[in-house]
Amino acid sequence: MNKRKPDDEFANIGLSYFNHKGEEVVVHCPESIGALATLEPSKPVSGTSVPEEGVSAVDPVVSVLETQKPESVMDAQQPTEELKEQHYTINYDSTGYSYETIITPYLKGAKSIVIEDPYIRAKHQLNNFVRFCEAVVKQPSVDLITLVTSYDESTDIKEMASCLKDLQQSLLEMDVKLDVQINENMHDREIRIDNGWVVKIGRGLDFFQKPESWFGVGVNDLSLRKCLETKVDIFKS
């Protein structure tokens, strides 16, 4: 711009950045080398004052960066929001809930998680469990998921076993082990995380309504799916 417009309009522009050591590195534009407007600007830029004799000019870029630097450092030093116990009700027909929104914040630092839910047996319940595992593995520290579930005389045990075996293999490829245990006497539903948090959902993982159409909004994104009414309790054990 200095070469195309030989006055001082673009003269007092400084470019610099701070490296990881906090040192300022000034960047010179090759195109401005030798440009008279850069080397000897003819008049001060409108809106700025000429420094008095004996007073050095302040680089505008450095000035802005120095002004912003303490604020940035302050933001970086702010502690992350502390997790708190939660007790709430998901109302019938409400949306905006998913396994990610409920459990993901409480997985920080977790290595293993135990899901006790007797109703991971029908096809849609198994699909829900797959979605739950997808939410869990987004926390890279988790390497073990334990499912404790049950079945009854109406359960297609072969289909159930086949689905869980496929899921085991898929998770193993992500270095996550799935351990499946059967407890025919269980009834309560509970999610226990090895960092001490416990999540209880009254209906377990199956708190979503069946979509009116399998080609409608909310089929894949559960946060858009209508819910059944249930209570959620999240607390530290």
CB 195 within 8 A of CB 188: no
Please report the pLDDT score of residue 129 as a whole number: 97
Please report the pLDDT score of residue 69 as a whole number: 47
Q: Quickly count: other Cβ atoms within 10 Å of residue 148's Cβ.
A: 18
pTM: 0.65
Residue count of the chain: 237
Please report the pLDDT score of residue 179 as a whole number: 97
Residue 58 belongs to what domain range?
A: 15-77
pLDDT level of residue 75 (50, 70, 90 thresholds): very low
Please report the pLDDT score of residue 187 as a whole number: 83
The verdict on 110 and 64 lying in the same domain is: no
Tell me the per-residue pLDDT of 166-187, one tens digit each, with 9 for 90 and over: 999 999 999 999 999 999 888 8
The verdict on 198 and 92 lying in the same domain is: yes
Q: Which two tokens stand for residue 65?
A: 């960066």
Between CA 113 and CA 93 the distance in angstroms is: 29
Q: Which two tokens stand for residue 227?
A: 């819910």
The verdict on 71 and 93 lying in the same domain is: no
Between CA 43 and CA 11 the distance in angstroms is: 10
The verdict on 101 and 126 lying in the same domain is: yes
The verdict on 134 and 204 lying in the same domain is: yes
Residue 22, Ramachandran bin (φ over 0: left; ψ between -120 and 50: alpha; else beta): left
Report yes or no on 107 lying in a domain: yes
Between CA 190 and CA 204 the distance in angstroms is: 7
Tell me the per-residue pLDDT of 115-151, one tens digit each, with 9 for 90 and over: 999 999 999 999 999 999 999 999 999 999 999 999 9
Please report the pLDDT score of residue 138 as a whole number: 93
Tell me the per-residue pLDDT of 89-107, one tens digit each, with 9 for 90 and over: 999 999 999 999 999 999 9
Q: CATH number of the domain that 168 lies in?
A: 3.30.870.30
Please report the pLDDT score of residue 186 as a whole number: 85
Helices 123-136 and 157-172 cross at an angle (nearest 10°) of: 20
Q: Which residue has the tokens 């600007």?
A: 41
Tell me the per-residue pLDDT of 5-58, one tens digit each, with 9 for 90 and over: 555 565 566 677 777 677 777 776 665 655 555 556 555 545 445 555 555 555
Please report the pLDDT score of residue 82 as a whole number: 86
Share above pLDDT 70 across residues of the chain, in percent, rounded to a whole number: 70
The verdict on 126 and 226 lying in the same domain is: yes
The verdict on 109 and 174 lying in the same domain is: yes
Residue in 102, 173, 105, 190 with CA at minimum distance from that of residue 139: 105
